[in-house]
Amino acid sequence: MSDAAVSPAIAIEGVHKWYDDYHALRGVDLTVAPGERIVVCGPSGSGKSTMVRCINGLEPHDRGRIVVNGTELRRDSRALQAVRRQVGMVFQQFNLFPHLTVMENLCLAPVWAAGVSRAEAAARARRYLARVRIAEQADKYPSQLSGGQQQRVAIARALCMEPKIMLFDEPTSALDPEMIQEVLDAIRELASDGMTMVVVTHEMGFARALADRIVFMDEGSIVETAPPEAFFTSPRSERTRQFLARILQH
Amino acid sequence: MTPARTTVDLRPPAMRLRPIRWMRRNLFGSPFEAVLTLLILCGLWFALRPLVDWALIDAHWSGQGRDACAGGGGACWVFVRARLGQFLYGFYPEAERWRVDVGIALVALAAIPLFLPRMRRKGSIACIALPAAFAVAGFLLTGGAFGLVAVETGRWGGLMLTVVVAVTGIAASFPLGILLALGRRSEMPVIRTLSVAFIEFWRGVPLVTVLFMASVMLPLFLPDGANVDKLLRALIGIALFAAAYMAEVVRGGLQAIPRGQYEAASALGLGYWRTLGLVVLPQALRHVIPGIVGSFIALFKDTTLVLIIGLFDFLGIVQAALTDPQWLGFALEGYVFAAAVYWVFCFGMSRLSARIERRGAPANAPAGRTW
């Protein structure tokens, strides 16, 4: 990473993570440049989600270093909150706050964590809701929306903190097939604006279209990192080939 | 670009039935049901008629002294009327009773915003208004400055004392219980252990014991001259006792909140207390409204136990009046009146809780029937 002209958005160096005795991450190294779009794939249990969740400290790593926009992640909660305000996250299960309306979901963190005025937060919320094309749902509760709409609200909620980096942890895995496309479109549009992104997904077509680089993980380590064309047409490692053969079959 | 609609919305079939049809369907749907309905009505008639006769129709309502109730088998409400002042205020000096009224009205007034559906920032308003109202009410009741005569707590009694004990118990145990519940789920071993120890200790001790300890034993341990008011000691005991139960109720609510809610809040940069206050507690408490109100109702009725340490709460003062030689023989009236008053209070709390529950539910969540 010494040859990088600009400092990386995310630098992960030799990161290990254990869940009790289970070695979930085994020495992960990854550097993400500002504006770069990384798609992480791999079989389940390979550590994809764990790695992404380490980037904003939802899971503390046990060894190694993670630096996000120049701030190293430590267990100190102030540094952690500072990093989290710059890193948006979208979850598989949406995790919207069910007791709040869409608008309140969006305004909560800007007002209470970033100190934005209520009026400004509301303006932001409307802007991002329009961007994910659900402006008309602002006063509904999450339970009144479809899965795809909920996930787009979740994306807008993360954007309202105006993050520099967005993390997506299998954003379409909990969706009905007919709703996957609308969420992918929202992510794609975001990518076209130059947002730095790390996306964990099983949608290979989407990965190919979106990614600057694809990271393939297996058994807690990164097996291969390659641009999409090279990744799909001439994977270097045997494990990658097996994985691709399995998921591209159908 | 909405496509042309090819479907037609039909209105759901009307579910509201007019009274006659409702009765025909629900009370006399089949011969068996009809017989059952009639039997129950019969039973109610025989059970309730004597009570209604006694309490309402044959009852004596007006007059002075027990002579007004001579003759006839009805209830003698004259007794309750004659003693009403004492039932409500205990031995609180008559000239000062307005202070009690004003104090209780103030607290009620401060609590009103909590029950207004569409009020903004009611949480913050209540956080300021309620403690302030409590402080003013406390001062009004005790007096001793600004021209108000001091009224020692030994003279407090009746319904007023019951309300004071119950309201302080509720107001103190609720926040304390929340803190204990959070403590019990804390990742810090010391806090967790202390919380568990506190909860298990207070839940393991009967309230009577707590009150005895507070009134008899505690003064023995206190240094000479350090005299804490007996009522205050009882209040503290009751609050701690109730807090332990409240903690377990609240913990149940906390456990129902999925991990994803904490994660989403942290990922947005909210710290521990804001995550709790804005995301977790509003949901957790809503889940356990029935349990919380259940604890409040239990606490309200448990306040009668202060009788054993010589405080005359509502039930206590009614009982004391029964032994008045002038009014011997009217125990039934006294107890029925006391029961009715307790019931009104508890039922009121229960209705209030149902209201909050209904309102708190997100628009289309299956709220279920609370009535």
pLDDT of amino acid A87: 93
State what percent of residues in chain A have pLDDT above 70. 97
Q: What is the mean pLDDT of the segment spanning A162-175?
A: 92
Do A161 and B363 make contact, defined as CB atoms within 8 angstroms?
no
Q: Are B336 and B76 a contacting pair, CB within 8 Å?
A: no
**Is the domain of B25 the same as that of B163?**
no
* Facing residue for B271 by CB, picked from A77, A96, A144: A77
pLDDT tens-digit readout, B91-100: 777 777 788 8
pLDDT at residue B125 is higher than 80: no
pLDDT tens-digit readout, B237-261: 889 999 999 999 999 999 999 999 9
Structure tokens at B136: 């003013």
Give the gap in angstroms from C-alpha B28 to the nearest C-alpha of chain A.
Answer: 40
Q: How far is CA A234 from CA A40, A42, A218, A248, B118, in A?
A: 17, 16, 18, 14, 62
pLDDT of amino acid A54: 93
Give the gap in angstroms from C-alpha B362 to the nearest C-alpha of chain A.
Answer: 6
pLDDT band per the 50, 70, 90 thresholds, residue A2: very low
Do A99 and B269 make contact, defined as CB atoms within 8 angstroms?
no
Do A81 and B269 make contact, defined as CB atoms within 8 angstroms?
yes
Q: How far is CA A30 from CA A65, A214, B288, in A?
A: 11, 11, 45
| Residue for token pair 């993390």 | A167
Whether B267 has its CB under 8 Å from any CB of chain A: the answer is: yes
Does residue B32 lie within any of the structural domains? yes
pLDDT at residue A31 is higher than 80: yes
Closest CA to B175 of B116, B279, B237, B250: B250
Does residue B6 lie within any of the structural domains? no
Give the gap in angstroms from C-alpha B354 to the nearest C-alpha of chain A.
Answer: 18
**Buried b or exposed e, range A180-218, using 16+ CB within 10 angstroms:** bebbbebbeebbeeebbbbbbbebbebbeebbebbbbbb
pLDDT tens-digit readout, B249-298: 999 999 999 999 999 999 998 888 899 989 999 889 888 888 888 888 88
pLDDT at residue A35 is higher than 70: yes
pLDDT of amino acid A53: 92
**Is the domain of B181 the same as that of B109?**
no
pLDDT of amino acid B371: 43
pLDDT of amino acid B31: 87
Does residue B366 lie within any of the structural domains? no
**Is the domain of B194 the same as that of B265?**
yes
pLDDT at residue A1 is higher than 50: no
Do B268 and A109 make contact, defined as CB atoms within 8 angstroms?
yes
Taking only residues 281 to 300 of chain B, the set having a beta carbon closer than 8 angstroms to any beta carbon of chain A reads 282-283, 286
pLDDT at residue A106 is higher than 90: yes
**Is the domain of B216 the same as that of B340?**
yes
Query: What is the C-alpha to C-alpha distance for residues B143 and B150, in angstroms, rounded to an integer?
Result: 4
* Facing residue for B267 by CB, picked from A84, A99, A112: A84
pLDDT band per the 50, 70, 90 thresholds, residue B3: low
**Is the domain of B209 the same as that of B288?**
yes
Terminal-to-terminal C-alpha distance of chain B: 45
Q: What is the mean pLDDT of the segment spanning A175-200?
A: 89
- What letter represents residue A96's amino acid? L
Does residue B248 lie within any of the structural domains? yes
pLDDT of amino acid B17: 63
pLDDT of amino acid B361: 57
Q: Which helix (H) or strand (E) holds A165?
A: strand A165-169
Q: What is the mean pLDDT of the segment spanning B207-234?
A: 78
**Average pLDDT of the residues of chain A:** 89
pLDDT of amino acid A5: 55
* Facing residue for B363 by CB, picked from A91, A96, A144: A144
pLDDT band per the 50, 70, 90 thresholds, residue B9: confident
Terminal-to-terminal C-alpha distance of chain A: 38
Q: Which chain B residues are closer than 8 Å to A81 by Cβ?
A: 269, 271
**Is the domain of B98 the same as that of B165?**
no
pLDDT at residue B76 is higher than 90: no
Does residue B42 lie within any of the structural domains? yes
Host domain of residue B251: 80-92+157-359
- What letter represents residue B71's amino acid? G
**Dihedrals phi, psi of A17, to nearest 5 degrees:** -150, 130
Q: Which helix (H) or strand (E) holds A16?
A: strand A10-19
State what percent of residues in chain B have pLDDT above 70. 89
**Average pLDDT of the residues of chain B:** 81
Q: What is the mean pLDDT of the segment spanning A21-40?
A: 92
Q: What is the mean pLDDT of the segment spanning B25-33?
A: 83
pLDDT at residue B366 is higher than 50: no
Where does a domain end: B150, B166, B182?
A: B150
Which residues touch A113 (CB under 8 Å, ≥6 apart)?
Answer: A81, A85, A161, B268, B269, B270, B271, B274
pLDDT of amino acid B262: 93
**Is the domain of B305 the same as that of B339?**
yes
Q: What is the mean pLDDT of the segment spanning A129-143?
A: 90
The CATH number of whichever domain residue B280 belongs to comes to 1.10.3720.10
Query: What is the C-alpha to C-alpha distance for residues B217 and B238, in angstroms, rounded to an integer?
Result: 16
pLDDT tens-digit readout, B128-138: 888 888 888 88
The DSSP string of B79-147 is HHHHHHHHHHHTT--GGGHHHHHHHHHHHHHHHGGGG-TT-TTHHHHHHHHHHHHHHHHHHHHH--STT
pLDDT at residue B358 is higher than 80: no
pLDDT at residue A17 is higher than 80: yes
Whether A237 has its CB under 8 Å from any CB of chain B: the answer is: no
Do A98 and B272 make contact, defined as CB atoms within 8 angstroms?
no
Whether A164 has its CB under 8 Å from any CB of chain B: the answer is: no
Does residue B16 lie within any of the structural domains? no
Q: Which chain B residues are closer than 8 Å to A89 by Cβ?
A: 264, 267
Q: How many residue pairs from chains A and B have C-beta atoms closer than 8 A? A: 77
Give the gap in angstroms from C-alpha A238 to the nearest C-alpha of chain B.
Answer: 36
* Facing residue for A161 by CB, picked from B260, B269, B365: B269
**Is the domain of B182 the same as that of B247?**
yes
This prediction's pTM:
0.80
Where does a domain end: B150, B175, B194?
A: B150
Structure tokens at B301: 């009725």
pLDDT of amino acid B367: 43
Q: Are B325 and B291 a contacting pair, CB within 8 Å?
A: no
pLDDT of amino acid A48: 92
pLDDT tens-digit readout, A79-103: 888 888 899 999 999 999 998 999 9
Q: Which helix (H) or strand (E) holds A167?
A: strand A165-169
Does residue B63 lie within any of the structural domains? no
- Inter-helix orientation angle A118-131/A102-112, to 10°: 130
Query: What is the C-alpha to C-alpha distance for residues B299 and B315, in angstroms, rounded to an integer?
Result: 14
Query: What is the C-alpha to C-alpha distance for residues B358 and B350, in angstroms, rounded to an integer?
Result: 12
pLDDT at residue B42 is higher than 80: yes
**Is the domain of B86 the same as that of B114?**
no
Q: Are A84 and B269 a contacting pair, CB within 8 Å?
A: yes
pLDDT of amino acid A250: 56
**Is the domain of B101 the same as that of B161?**
no
Do B271 and A58 make contact, defined as CB atoms within 8 angstroms?
no
Q: What is the mean pLDDT of the segment spanning A130-144?
A: 90
* Facing residue for A84 by CB, picked from B266, B279, B283: B266
pLDDT tens-digit readout, A207-230: 988 899 999 999 999 999 999 999
Q: What is the mean pLDDT of the segment spanning B349-354?
A: 86
Whether A166 has its CB under 8 Å from any CB of chain B: the answer is: no
Q: What is the mean pLDDT of the segment spanning B61-89?
A: 75
Higher-confidence position of A180 and B16: A180
**Is the domain of B146 the same as that of B165?**
no
Higher-confidence position of B150 and A151: A151
Which residues touch A57 (CB under 8 Å, ≥6 apart)?
Answer: A73, A80, A83, A84
pLDDT band per the 50, 70, 90 thresholds, residue B77: confident
Query: What is the C-alpha to C-alpha distance for residues A55 and A159, in angstroms, rounded to an integer?
Result: 17
- Mutation target among B188, B268, B278 for the A interface, most CBs of A within 10 A: B268
pLDDT band per the 50, 70, 90 thresholds, residue B215: confident
pLDDT of amino acid B119: 57
Q: State how many domains chain B has.
A: 3
Structure tokens at A11: 């630098």
Does residue B74 lie within any of the structural domains? no
Q: What is the mean pLDDT of the segment spanning B44-51?
A: 87
Give the gap in angstroms from C-alpha A24 to the nearest C-alpha of chain B.
Answer: 19
CB-count burial class (<10 Å; 0-12, 13-18, 19+) for A164? middle
Q: Are B57 and B75 a contacting pair, CB within 8 Å?
A: no
**Is the domain of B101 the same as that of B40?**
no
Q: Are A63 and A54 a contacting pair, CB within 8 Å?
A: no
| Residue for token pair 């809780």 | B353
Q: Which chain A residues are closer than 8 Å to B267 by Cβ?
A: 56, 58, 84, 87-89, 91, 158
pLDDT band per the 50, 70, 90 thresholds, residue B22: confident
Do A58 and B364 make contact, defined as CB atoms within 8 angstroms?
no
Do B267 and A88 make contact, defined as CB atoms within 8 angstroms?
yes
- Mutation target among A50, A81, A159, A162 for the B interface, most CBs of B within 10 A: A81
Q: What is the mean pLDDT of the segment spanning A180-193?
A: 89
Q: What is the DSSP letter of B4?
A: P
- Inter-helix orientation angle B77-89/B158-184, to 10°: 50
